Structure 1
Amino acid sequence: MSRVFVDADACPVKAEALRVAERHGAEVMYVANGGLRPVEHPLARMVYVPEGPDEADKWIAERAGPGDVVVTADIPLAAKCVAAGAAVLNHTGEPFTQANIGQKLATRDLMADLRAADPFRQGGGRAFSKADRARFLDALECALRAAAR
């Protein structure tokens, strides 16, 4: 049976992940440092890791593998999970794959360098939209179908 690992601290699609996973009978593990409201569902499991940088990421990376789906916006975590054979999606449904993870890591590092060089650099990503939510639902459905094969 597939498992869905959700890097849950700032994930806007927690409920959607459970809704799709339920159709496939997949267990969903919400991994966070705390502060999440418990989810009462037989397929949902709340995993609270110790406080500290990247503790949730470490927990997920140690367990995710082939047949699993990981939902995260954290690119280094995505790279570890892709290397372990898991399917990885961000919250807009964009997949992280062997083919694109190197470019994603390089872009992340470049942007970190640009922000460090210009402390007044403002801005961020665009707002999360209904279209993003719909793309995520479709991508997770496809990922869980593929994992079942």
Structure 2
Amino acid sequence: MTSVVRLVEIRDTPLDVVEVLASLDDDTDGGVTLFVGKVRDHDGGRGVSGLDYSAHPTAIERLREVCETVAARHDVHGVAAVHRVGRLGIGDLAVVVATAAAHRGTAFEASRDLIDTLKSEVPIWKHQVFADGSDEWVGTP
């Protein structure tokens, strides 16, 4: 039997939505829900010029655990999560998560759970640089 967790990676190269969707291709699925997080040009009323993502050495292990936990909480056939690290510009993809299930409702619920749990539990930190030259770290302990 194929693992429900199909793709889990942290990488410093551009993310590919097609790769994530392809990892979940299965005829048993009636719904695949995809979430794409992009770098936006603003945050909290301030202009953003770019950001850097850093990951703790245990982040990939933790990301896999989160995917397995979410898969166990929902009746899904596939789970995928890929996060980018390094310098990202405005519009770059920072994270892509997806889940596949027999029904759309389950896929939606599982994908929401996956991105929310990833953001709260995986040690990946964002260093945001603002247009005025100031900066801040987000998600650090």
TM over 0.5, yes or no? no
TM-score range (shorter-chain normalised) is under 0.3
Higher strand share: 2
Structure possessing the higher relative contact order (Cα contacts under 8 Å, 6 or more residues apart):
2
**Which structure has more helix as a fraction of its residues?**
1
